[in-house]
Structures are given as structure tokens and as C-alpha cells.
Copies of this chain bind each other. A is one copy, B any other.
């Protein structure tokens, strides 16, 4: 009945923490620390073949950062689950990590019980995050309370603008004259404080106006 344990690799430069984590993992039934590395370079070298189930990755490492390491590991093993385990709560670190392919993000104060639960959750197809981290991630979706200054028609035109249509094409699609489209776009530029299509599209995408 004994299922095989979850194999875990650790990438962490602090030898004390590394050893502590190893002890916790190997002391818990169902978990096994298969490898541990003090830096990104040796981790990449050691994990090129035989990836573990889950990697615990520190962000601040000597040399290559944990984020860069995550990116490269994911390119080698797209299905590998990597959990960032770090003191950093900086917004950029969080989102850069997620973009690099991290599956979860835990702060280092996480108690051992929760850490083990998180590893199991990741293995089972979840994405463990410390509560405050999760809130920030969710918060990044919340659209800014600034309501769009554009009218419905202008928003429609902006949408077509984002698709690369020219005056003629937009006019045909909306059954109006090109002059009307020009007028709309002029107003859009004024309201968004931009002066050309590229800027308008960028603003539309950033502020989710479309």
C-alpha cells in the first residue's frame, strides 16, 4: 500500500535552512528530499536529467537568481512544479516568478505543516500561495476604479483600432463615413491623452478598456 513518496529538490544558499528543510522533508512520511543545491547553476546541472516532483526554490541566490533558474528549469521540464520559498514579498518578485513558470509562492515563515500541505497541493494540481501573496495576485486582476472615459461608440472604435484596422475598414464595419471614424479617434486620443494609434492600443490593453 506504500505509495512512492513525493521527491523534492531544494535550491537554497543558506546551509542552515537547506539542512532544516531536508530534515523536515525526510522526516515526514510520503516526502523525500532527493537533491539539494546551494545555487542555481548547480541545480540546473544536477536536474537536467531525472527531475524531481517538486522543487523548492529560493529567489535570492548567489549568481543566477531563482527566477532565472525557474525559467530555465521549466524549459527543460515543462511539467515540473516549482514552488518559490522566499522572504521576498516584493510585487516584482512575485509576478516575475509566476511569469517564469513558478507553480506556487510561499513565504519562509510558513510552518512545516503548511509547507508539507503545500507540496502535496502542488503535486495534486493546485497552486499553493501564502495568503498575502494570493491576495496580491488576485488584486492584480481587479480593474482600476477609474471608469473608462470613453463613450460606447468610442470604445467600439478603439477595439477595432487594436485590431489594426484603418479608417476605411472601421468605417465599413460600423456603417459610417471615414470622417466620422476620424472624429471618434480624435476624441479618443484627447480623452486618453495620446497622439497616435500605438499609444492608444497600449493604453487600451493596459487599462483593459477593450
Contact = CB atoms under 8 A, between A and B. Distances in A.
A142 interface: yes
A50 to B, nearest CB: 22
Contacts of A162: 198, 202
B198 A141 contact: no
Given A138-B103, A138-B104, A163 B202 contact: yes
A205 interface: yes
Contacts of A195: 164
Interface stretch (A7-15, A37-45, A119-127): A119-127
Contacts of A132: 125-126
A127 B121 contact: no
Contacts of A98: 138, 141-142
Interface residues of A, number: 46
Nearest to A95: B141
Contacts of A75: 145
Interface string A180-210: 0000000000000011111111100110100
A20 to B, nearest CB: 25
Given A125-B132, A127-B131, 5 more contacts: A75-B145, A98-B141, A104-B138, A128-B134, A164-B199
